[in-house]
Amino acid sequence: MARSDEQRLADLQATYSRAVRGFLPPEGLTVSEWADRYRRLSPESSAEAGPWRTSRTPYLKEPMDAFTDPRVRKVVIVAGSQIGKTECELNCLAYIMDQDPGTVLFIQPTLEDAKKFSRLRVEPMVRDCPRLRRKVHDTERGGKQAKTVLQKSFPGGMLMMVGSNAASALASTPARYIIGDERDRWALSAGREGDPWRLAEARQTTFYNAKAIEVSTPTVKGASNIETAYASGTQERWVTRCPECGEWHDIQFDDIRFKYETDRVNGRKVHRLTSEPEWLCPSCGCLVSERRMREAPSRWRADNPGALAQTRVRSFWLNAFCSPWTSWSRICLDFLDAKDDPQRLQVVYNTLFGRLWEDRGDLVSDDEMMARREDYGTRPDGTPVELPDGALVVTVGVDVQDTRLEYEVVGHGRWGETWGIEKGVIMGRPDTDEVWERLDGVTSHVWRYRDGRGVRASVTCVDSGGHYTQEVYERCRARQASRVFAIKGKGGEGIPYVSVPTQVPIRDKRIKCWLYTIGVDAGKAQIMSSLKVQEPGPKYCHFPRGRGYDEGYFAGLLSERLVLSKTGTGSRWRWEKIPGHERNEALDCRNYALAALEMLNPDWDAIERSRSGADRAPSRPKRQRRRRDRAPDEW
Ligand SMILES: [Zn+2]
């Protein structure tokens, strides 16, 4: 009994002294001073484990110290990866726990992110930092919140970590501090309650000394919350003094000059820099090496200094060119590797250049496409080459209108490279034999290469969605042997490009027709991303001069763009017609022709072998033995 009493007393003492420690006056340090004195970087999250040194990343000093500046209510940091923004947040968090305790709401995009952040960043920091280890403890929350909130307590305050979509779980908890990480990936609404940031800020209203930190990698222009937050603040950029002329500039990728060579290794492009990247000073035009720029004086420059008095927001924007962990050569090589793939290029823009990505759907202009058309060459007998050598498989997409059929014949190479072969219109109502016979002329035509060999269309997809559904079913059924199939386009997110076909009955007849459902949005995304590829090779779209590829064609092909729309529960991408581009048959035909290739999923190795073989007869490529479910007996 006595032993247990003693133990209880000791526990009580420990609790009491923990509580009292929270009421000791702060040491009057700034965050950077505190970090230099007490913070240790953990080995699992840092290549440079050990004591924190602000001098290593001098650009983080001002953002951290702004946090302890009584004039500042909110600090906004826009920065890519490998710059240290997370350490900056952690230093502020550690400072709160040790020096100026209060309730902290730490918000990540999702609960999963919050759990990961807690386990991989917060816990190692507490473990490796003796000042914090003594103070910070895990606590459980009861009831409904247990599932949505991670919690740690320290004398005088607590840390609550949540996902942005569940920020409403904390509706009743006042918080003096808010730290919001990866703000651009947050849910647009926390449940039905609206913008999570506003919800979080509402928790702060009772604190005269409330503070917030909003941090993110930038994302898409016009849809970026961190861009808006940055604009509301002092808009500070990290500028370096040109060693030649003394002017101050922030280093932008557009001002970096470098030379490179490209080799092909196993069919893939490999880039190599042939000169060290240099910075071209926009003021004096001198080229300055990376080493000299890193040694030159740097400081923050505010474009909107008045915001400090008006909104009390200091906002900072950083890119990877100032990071001590990322060389300029690395940035240039990452850019070269990504430049042909818009999705990867966006990552480079956001994380390395620290730049917003502009949805470039509308940057590919009709004029640009017209200018890009090429001559496929002539054959020895003087007739034009119908099919360039890279186009190994041919498919056709057909759009059915009340007065005509529109079609496009597309040649496909390996790795998604495509060649427009012919864009045509067959006038006439779709319930007359004549239009279908003329379509047969297209689907059975042998498209000739330069050497005289040729191939027919492997698969043709015909849209059944208009007023002539039954007619299309019937006509396609009669042409199954030539692999002419009825398709039905279905819009919406997450619908696979090609699904398993179903059998649909044909009116008044005891026969059925195979019908493929095409996820047209998946197709549009594929088309738009390939149109942005600038160099022939994987995914590039070739177009010939003539053969129906005129201004009207490109206006139709570029008739829709992807827009991000806000909905009750988040954001959703959807396709929208661009004003002035009302006709979209060209886009539909291309979409169906690409779906036809998806359905076929050809065995490229076999096709390449047969192309290089001696077989001169027109041939259809062999299909791969077994893959996607398809109309069984017709194939
Ligand atoms: Zn200069």
Residue 297 C-alpha to ligand 1 middle, in angstroms?
Answer: 13
Residue 72 C-alpha to ligand 1 middle, in angstroms?
Answer: 34
Quick one: which H or E segment has residue 464? none
Residue 283 C-alpha to ligand 1 middle, in angstroms?
Answer: 5
Q: 343: number of CA atoms within 13 Å, CB side?
A: 6
Residue 421 C-alpha to ligand 1 middle, in angstroms?
Answer: 51
Residue 212 C-alpha to ligand 1 middle, in angstroms?
Answer: 37
pLDDT given for residue 63 in this prediction: 97
Residue 328 C-alpha to ligand 1 middle, in angstroms?
Answer: 19
Distance of CA 217 to the CA centre of its chain: 12
Task: State how far the Cα of 600 lies from the Cα of 497, in Å rounded to an integer.
Answer: 13
Residue 298 C-alpha to ligand 1 middle, in angstroms?
Answer: 14
Sign of the alpha-carbon dihedral angle for 318, 323, 328, 334: negative
pLDDT given for residue 145 in this prediction: 62
Residue 355 C-alpha to ligand 1 middle, in angstroms?
Answer: 23
Question: CB-based contacts of 414: which residues, under 8 Å, 6+ apart?
Answer: 392, 604, 608
Looking at the DSSP bridge assignments, the partners of residue 249 are 240
Residues 481-516: tens digit of each pLDDT = 999 999 999 987 778 899 889 999 888 778 889 999
Task: State how far the Cα of 40 lies from the Cα of 34, in Å rounded to an integer.
Answer: 11
Task: State how far the Cα of 493 lies from the Cα of 497, in Å rounded to an integer.
Answer: 11
Residue 538 C-alpha to ligand 1 middle, in angstroms?
Answer: 40
Sign of the alpha-carbon dihedral angle for 188, 191, 193, 197: negative
Start-end of H helices in 136-263: 196-202, 225-231
Residue 503 C-alpha to ligand 1 middle, in angstroms?
Answer: 70
Q: Could you say which residues of the chain have pLDDT below 50?
A: 1, 19-24, 360-362, 614-619, 622, 624-635
pLDDT given for residue 146 in this prediction: 63
Task: State how far the Cα of 298 lies from the Cα of 73, in Å rounded to an integer.
Answer: 25
Question: CB-based contacts of 241: which residues, under 8 Å, 6+ apart?
Answer: 247, 248, 296, 297, 298
| Of residues 54, 12, 10, the one with CA closest to residue 32 | 54
Residue 286 C-alpha to ligand 1 middle, in angstroms?
Answer: 6
Residue 229 C-alpha to ligand 1 middle, in angstroms?
Answer: 31
Residue 249 C-alpha to ligand 1 middle, in angstroms?
Answer: 9
Residue 253 C-alpha to ligand 1 middle, in angstroms?
Answer: 16
Give the DSSP per-residue string, 10-53: HHHHHHHHHHHHTTSPP----HHHHHHHH-EE-TTT-TT-EE--
Residue 462 and residue 476 in contact, taking contact as beta carbons nearer than 8 Å: yes
Task: State how far the Cα of 292 lies from the Cα of 328, in Å rounded to an integer.
Answer: 13
Residue 244 C-alpha to ligand 1 middle, in angstroms?
Answer: 5
| Of residues 366, 363, 337, the one with CA closest to residue 352 | 337
Residue 288 C-alpha to ligand 1 middle, in angstroms?
Answer: 9
In terms of phi and psi (left: phi > 0; alpha: psi -120 to 50; beta: otherwise), the region of 84 is left
Residue 446 C-alpha to ligand 1 middle, in angstroms?
Answer: 62
Distance of CA 161 to the CA centre of its chain: 26
Task: State how far the Cα of 500 lies from the Cα of 74, in Å rounded to an integer.
Answer: 53
Residue 287 C-alpha to ligand 1 middle, in angstroms?
Answer: 8
The encoded tokens of residue 91 equal 């230093």
Sign of the alpha-carbon dihedral angle for 588, 590, 593, 597: negative
Residue 334 C-alpha to ligand 1 middle, in angstroms?
Answer: 27
Residue 322 C-alpha to ligand 1 middle, in angstroms?
Answer: 18
| Of residues 525, 578, 519, the one with CA closest to residue 554 | 578
What phi and psi, each to the nearest 5 degrees, are found at residue 412?
A: -120, 135
Give the DSSP per-residue string, 285-308: --EEEHHHHHHS-EEEEES-TTHH
Residue 292 C-alpha to ligand 1 middle, in angstroms?
Answer: 12
pLDDT given for residue 288 in this prediction: 96
Residues 374-394: tens digit of each pLDDT = 999 998 888 889 999 999 999
DSSP state of 77: E
Residues 179-214: tens digit of each pLDDT = 999 998 887 776 667 778 888 888 888 888 999 999
Residue 255 C-alpha to ligand 1 middle, in angstroms?
Answer: 12
Residue 80 C-alpha to ligand 1 middle, in angstroms?
Answer: 26
Residue 542 C-alpha to ligand 1 middle, in angstroms?
Answer: 42
Residue 295 C-alpha to ligand 1 middle, in angstroms?
Answer: 15
Task: State how far the Cα of 337 lies from the Cα of 103, in Å rounded to an integer.
Answer: 45
Residue 300 C-alpha to ligand 1 middle, in angstroms?
Answer: 18
Residue 332 C-alpha to ligand 1 middle, in angstroms?
Answer: 22
The encoded tokens of residue 66 equal 């702004």
Residue 289 C-alpha to ligand 1 middle, in angstroms?
Answer: 12
Residue 327 C-alpha to ligand 1 middle, in angstroms?
Answer: 21
Task: State how far the Cα of 492 lies from the Cα of 519, in Å rounded to an integer.
Answer: 7
Angle between helices 31-38 and 85-99 (to 10 degrees): 90
| Of residues 593, 520, 526, 588, the one with CA closest to residue 553 | 588
Residue 240 C-alpha to ligand 1 middle, in angstroms?
Answer: 10
Residue 293 C-alpha to ligand 1 middle, in angstroms?
Answer: 11
Residue 280 C-alpha to ligand 1 middle, in angstroms?
Answer: 8
Length of the chain: 635
Residue 326 C-alpha to ligand 1 middle, in angstroms?
Answer: 23
Distance of CA 423 to the CA centre of its chain: 32
Residue 520 and residue 587 in contact, taking contact as beta carbons nearer than 8 Å: no
Residue 540 C-alpha to ligand 1 middle, in angstroms?
Answer: 39
Residue 528 C-alpha to ligand 1 middle, in angstroms?
Answer: 40
Residue 238 C-alpha to ligand 1 middle, in angstroms?
Answer: 16
pLDDT given for residue 565 in this prediction: 61
Task: State how far the Cα of 596 lies from the Cα of 630, in Å rounded to an integer.
Answer: 12
Residue 302 C-alpha to ligand 1 middle, in angstroms?
Answer: 20
Residue 318 C-alpha to ligand 1 middle, in angstroms?
Answer: 21
How distant, in Å, are the alpha carbons of 126, 427, 480 from that of 632?
62, 33, 11
| Residue the block writes with tokens 């730490």 | 106
DSSP state of 176: S
Residue 252 C-alpha to ligand 1 middle, in angstroms?
Answer: 14
